[in-house]
A and B are shown apart, each in its own frame.
Chain A
């Protein structure tokens, strides 16, 4: 009988934990489709009207001029996310391979450096990075943010992919070398296809990380034409926070769509990236 009670308690606890984490998402959806601008009341899709033309306050010409077009902002966000993803995947799949398969002088130092650098978050370098981007004339450009963001996500990518390369048996590579492929050919034709899950994991993670980025964009970008969705929402919260929560929630739902889709598709890959978790 005692076992039964603990089992019931365990499942009750599990249910509570499941509900707690679902609350924020459910509330966001509720608020986004609420008739009241500040609380959840009734149901309407009016808050999503901006989706038609990408203009936030269509009926209010004064306010609508204050904010950039939602779709061009989303495009900036996409450029940042894709740029980050491509660079991180490209560079870390090469470096991860070498670090996993070659022994050379300075190898463990290099690997250790990646780990330590990853352990100390790059936000501490913001001031110096701001200064450097200013000197390189990359301040206020998406490219500048991509470069910084990519360098922050790179050490994790190298570590994760090194782990994936490590898990592939040497025999496969040796076999292809015996058959006459070059080392580079073996990398390209044998190894890369085998570490696809790792590349997928790193790609997903760096895409989402670029998509959600706030601090770097906020610090390095001034002009509205280069804003990303995080800045647009943040600015709305600052100016409309007390008055129009449901519009902000509706815009957040739009911002969240790719995240949820990719999360559902790739959750089991993403979890494998946790080993170097970035956020507090």
Chain B
């Protein structure tokens, strides 16, 4: 009897878990290993696996352009993070301090860019900030009698921070606002009785109490930003000019799938990805330890 139950248990476990595990192994783990293997070959349009050892890595380290891509990646990640964590915090603070209905509406609307198809979002943003006279901002400026500004030519980094930040900030917003709502009202009332101003309350009570949430959002967003390039591809595509906004992952994409003759260099492209994969994995493990995510994984009570 007991062994039949054990057998049943194993059957249920495998029946329900195998699909998920299989999907993850086939479409995530295998490609990750494959990417690292590819980076050791000069795989190109002929699709022949020719092992070249670390030659691609040597090229990566010695190529003068690498420095541009690394620098761009740092600017992009740091700038977008600053914008979207700051904005997320502002949205959370404002929406939790106003009438609840308006606050909820505000959070709902700011969540919309996240689910909007990326092509549409990128299209509108490109038109608003278009450097041409017909762009929305320039139409407004000319209507007021000013000179048109070549937005995306001149201010390409701020443009990208805004485009990506509008999408990223809802993540921080949701986490921060639920953290702020969880703060016991007594603290805030006590501070008010003592005569503290609204800003002092934010700085001395709210911010210190949600600092771990802020750290978590920064950590998580760093990881996803390192490897996200969809909105750069859809807007400036690495331009304007010579690699102005070409980040590492975008360069990998261009090397592999770009439209120029230089593309289909899968082996060399895989080097960029492998470097990012390793950085990502190391960061994940560090965050794992720092944020004690293991606690989220408490064992079930009964069985």
The interface of chain A, by Cβ under 8 A from chain B, is 2, 6, 10-11, 13-14, 17-18, 21-25, 27-28, 31, 38-40, 90-92, 94-95, 97-104, 107-108, 110-117, 119-132, 134, 147-148, 150-152, 154-155, 158, 170, 174, 182-184, 205, 208-209, 211-212, 214-215, 219, 229-230, 233-234, 237, 242, 245, 248-249, 252, 255-256, 259, 263, 267, 270-271, 274-275, 277-280
Contacts and interface: CB of A to CB of B under 8 A. Distances in A.
Interface string B126-162: 0110001010100100000000000000000000000
A10 B94 contact: yes
B159 to A, nearest CB: 14
Closest 4 pairs (CB-CB, A-B): A212-B117, A151-B27, A128-B31, A95-B20
A124 B224 CA distance: 10
Contacts of A151: 23-24, 26-28
Contacts of A277: 114, 168, 170-171, 220, 224
A213 B290 CA distance: 33
Contact of A124 (B119, B128, B273, B299): B273
Contacts of B293: 112, 115
A233 B120 CA distance: 8
A147 B26 CA distance: 10
17 contacts: A18-B105, A40-B136, A94-B16, A114-B24, A123-B228, A127-B270, A127-B273, A129-B31, A131-B47, A151-B24, A151-B28, A214-B117, A214-B234, A245-B127, A252-B123, A271-B108, A274-B171
Interface residues of B, number: 107
Contact of B27 (A121, A147, A211, A275): A147
Nearest to A115: B293
B299 A39 contact: no
A274 B174 contact: yes
A140 B253 CA distance: 18
B231 to A, nearest CB: 7
A158 B94 CA distance: 32
B2 to A, nearest CB: 15
Interface stretch (B57-65, B180-188, B203-211, B280-288): B280-288
Nearest to A135: B47
Contacts of B117: 211-212, 214, 229-230, 255-256, 259
Interface stretch (B32-40, B67-75, B238-246): B32-40
A130 B111 CA distance: 31
B301 A21 contact: no
Contact of A108 (B97, B223, B294): B294
A127 B297 contact: no
Contact of B281 (A120, A214, A267, A279): A120
B269 interface: yes
Contacts of B197: 2, 6
B228 A279 contact: yes
Contacts of B98: 10-11, 14
Interface in B12-52: 12-13, 15-17, 19-21, 23-24, 26-28, 30-32, 34-35, 38, 43, 47
Main secondary structure of the interface of B (DSSP, over half): helix
B189 interface: no
Given A277-B170, A280-B225, A95 B28 contact: no
Given A114-B24, A274-B175, A280-B167, A230 B109 contact: no
Interface of B: 8-9, 12-13, 15-17, 19-21, 23-24, 26-28, 30-32, 34-35, 38, 43, 47, 80, 84, 90-91, 94-95, 97-98, 102-103, 105-121, 123-125, 127-128, 132, 134, 136, 139, 164, 166-168, 170-171, 174-175, 197-198, 220-221, 223-225, 227-231, 233-234, 249, 252-253, 256-257, 266, 269-270, 273, 276-277, 280-281, 284-285, 287-288, 293-294, 296-297, 299-303
Nearest to B164: A280
Contacts of B266: 127, 130-131
B44 to A, nearest CB: 12
A215 B297 contact: no
Q: Which of A31, A110, A259, A277 has the most chain B CB atoms inside 10 A of its CB?
A: A277
A132 B30 contact: yes
Nearest to B165: A280
Nearest to B91: A17
Nearest to B230: A215
Contact of B19 (A27, A94, A120, A252): A94
Contacts of B90: 17
Given A108-B294, A122-B28, A271-B107, A17 B94 contact: yes
A67 to B, nearest CB: 15
B108 to A, nearest CB: 5
B245 to A, nearest CB: 14
Contact of B284 (A120, A158, A174, A245): A120
Contacts of A104: 13
Q: Which of A124, A208, A215 has the most chain B CB atoms inside 10 A of its CB?
A: A124
Contacts of B230: 123, 214-215, 279
B273 A121 contact: no
Given A131-B266, A170-B301, A280-B167, A18 B109 contact: yes
A117 B134 contact: no
